[in-house]
Amino acid sequence: MLILPFAAWGCGSSRTLSVSVPPVDTTVLDMALKRLAAAHLRVQLTSFGPLPAGYELGNADVGDQDPEAATRVKAGSVVRLDMHGPNPIPSPVVAIRHPATVTVPTLVGLTWAEARRAVSPGYWLAIGHVPALGPHDPNDVYSSYVDIGQSPTPGTKLPFGGVTVSDGGFRPTVVQLRIGRR
């Protein structure tokens, strides 16, 4: 007798595959999306708060999930993730040898993934409110977000990495993005 790790039925059956919801509420978004994709589940995201400069969307903490881990659901079901902000906020790192300035590229109209690839290491991205996302395949989440605004404008020259301020601290060079749904 063959024992399968999931319930399966013969051809013509109207029954669907039952899967266990993986634990994702103690991870970051990247890991949660990988686990949900591996379990053949879709994802729905609540809105994120603003993410500070240098903080990656994929590193945002997942605060809660519904349904809870280990719940049995049909394959293709939606798992809702309540997103939290960053923890901890990263510190800036600036290369020792670098150009004096960087030119801000045009990022409006690019997906989140495309915008992230288009930026140089000379500045950080700061992301405002990220809207909730309805049910999606976990592999399509990042391409579902698009940059709908940026500051400063494309072509602006900024100091590479940032500047040292009068009290000896460091202020990183930041490009603000507004993210919307595609």
The two structure tokens encoding residue 168: 């000896």
pLDDT tens-digit profile, the chain (182 residues): 333 343 444 455 556 799 999 999 989 999 999 999 999 999 998 877 666 666 778 888 898 999 999 999 999 999 999 887 565 555 666 667 888 999 999 999 998 878 878 887 788 878 877 888 888 888 888 888 899 999 999 999 999 888 888 998 888 888 888 888 88
Tokens of 29: 């978004």
Exposed e or buried b for every residue in 81-113, given b needs 16+ CB within 10 A?
bebbebeeeeeeeeeeeeeeebebeebeebbbe
Domains and CATH numbers, the chain: 18-181 (3.30.10.20)
